[in-house]
Amino acid sequence: MRNHISTKHAIAPSIQPLTSLGTSPSVSFKFHFPSSFLWGAAISSYQTEGANYNSDWYVFEKEKKIQEAARAANHYELFSKDFKLAKELNLKAVRLSFEWARINPKPGVYLEEEINHYKEVIQTLKILDLKPFVTLHHFTNPIWFAQSGSFQSSKNIDYFLGYLKRIVEEFKDDIQHWLIFNEPLVYVYNGYICGRWAPGVKSIRTAQKVLRNVISAYIDGYKEIKNIYKEDNIPSYVSVVNHIRKFSPCPSFNFGQNSISAYFKNKISNFDIIDYLTKKTSLDYLAVNYYCKEYVKFKGLIGCECPHQFHKERKNYLGWYIYPQGLYELLKKLKGYNLPIYVMENGSAETEDSLYKEYLFSHLKCVARAMSEGIDIRGYFWWSLIDNFEWDKGFGPRFGLIDVNYDTFERRIKPFAYEYAKICKENKIEI
Ligand code: BGC
């Protein structure tokens, strides 16, 4: 099927951020996605499974006395139910992560029963014809690994690679899309610069070391996966998930300096890792997470966030500035890498269903627009499939297509998710 965009208006209305979706009776935008387009939703193990007592975050929550993930959404027991709901929503793919600490709770010890648990998870997806995209590291580490200094020490990289090798060998027949790390920069920034995530360190020097080692673990992991698949002549697609964000200078008296900071933040956060890894030919596709816009104020070259009462964008439940156009602009920039692109996370925590719908449609419109301009986007994953534990923010923010009652673990599909299901089924967006 060919992609096409049609608009009723002479001046492409697709450029406008949508603010009143659902209220306008006139259909003004239509786009057909290719039949191979992968509609999905993403989750991570620690945020959904519950009872991850061997993970460093479990210790961190106790130490910092923050809300604990505890049983989270009990996805560990209810995964089959959750995937059936994903199927009901016409999804074609699910992104999930394996919890390293469950599988490898002590150095050199790999628990067969936990590997078998994930085998069941993957088999369930296979039976439902949902393609798995698996993340090997989504922010959490085994306690023993954290205690031995985690990625602060280059000597520890081999521990991670041991886990990677074991898992990829076990799962190579059923998984083709691997994401070795989720958002290395976000991991390093929150855990080693701001200290608001495990391990709660605030040191730029340590952060640099950790980043260097994570990237080096990625490159070695990439080669390892390629070798494993090569032996069996099976295709594999390997990448790292990068968080991308629209950075804009804070409009204040030192606008020029703020612009410089925004320029550097954009370069470092959005592109430097991708630049580096493409030069090392270590990316099979680009995997990006996009949520919002950040205003940057000069404070050293990199600057800091600048919340401002006069910014015109709507804020979501977490106070993030919603700016769909930023996704389009960044996707255009990513075109230059000549690699297929997957939007591996996009979503929002809202309090009203109409706002989820507005967020979904306005961002999908930007994806559609980018595709109509020849950008090779292969899939879109909503974050998240089910409501879950939002790290230091606890259970307040609800990103899910599916609502979770944290007392009973009952699931309920949210109304806007049915709108998403319709798009996934019809493979088209019409606004
Ligand atoms: C992370 C998720 C997180 C989501 C919403 C992403 O950056 O991968 O773990 O829940 O953002 O904050």
- Encode pLDDT of 88-124 as tens digits: 999 999 999 999 999 999 999 999 999 999 999 999 9
State the pLDDT at residue 336: 98
> What's the chain look like in SS3?
CCCCEEECCCCCHHHCCCCCCCCCCCCCEEEECCCCCEEEEECCHHHHCCCCCCEHHHHHHHHHCCCCCCCCCCHHHHHHHHHHHHHHCCCCEEEEECCHHHHCCECCECCHHHHHHHHHHHHHHHHCCCEEEEEEECCCCEHHHHHCCHHHCHHHHHHHHHHHHHHHHHHCCCCCEEEEEECHHHHHHHHHHCCCCCCCCCCHHHHHHHHHHHHHHHHHHHHHHHHHHHHHCCCCEEEEEEEEEEEEECCCCCHHHHHHHHHHHHHHHHHHHHHHHHHCCCCCCEEEEEEEEEEEECCCCCCEECCCCCCCCCECCCCCECCHHHHHHHHHHHHHHCCCEEEEEECCCCCCHHHHHHHHHHHHHHHHHHHHCCCCEEEEEEECCECCCCHHHCCCCCCCCEEECCCCCCEEECHHHHHHHHHHHHCEEEC
Give 164 Cα–ligand 1 centroid separation in angstroms: 22
**What would the CATH number be for the domain defined by 30-430?**
3.20.20.80
Residue 383, ligand 1, Cβ within 6 A: yes
Q: Which atom of ligand 1 is nearest to the CA of 139?
A: 9
Residue 8 pLDDT grade (very low, low, confident, very high; cuts 50, 70, 90): very low
Domain segments of the chain as ranges: 30-430
Per residue in 169-203, pLDDT (tens digit) is: 999 999 999 999 999 999 999 999 999 999 999 99
- Distance in Å, CA 279 to ligand 1 centroid: 27
For the Cβ of 387 lying below 6 angstroms from any atom of ligand 1, the answer is no
The share of the chain scoring above pLDDT 70, in percent, equals 93
Q: Answer whether 345 contacts ligand 1 (Cβ < 6 A).
A: yes
Distance 216 CA to ligand 1 centre (A): 23
Ligand 1: distance of its center to the CA of 25 in Å?
34
Q: How far is the CA of 3 from the centre of ligand 1 (A)?
A: 30
Q: What is the mean pLDDT of the chain?
A: 93
Q: Is the pLDDT of residue 51 over 50?
A: yes
- Which atom of ligand 1 is closest in space to residue 391's alpha carbon? 10
- What is the pLDDT, as a whole number, of residue 22? 36
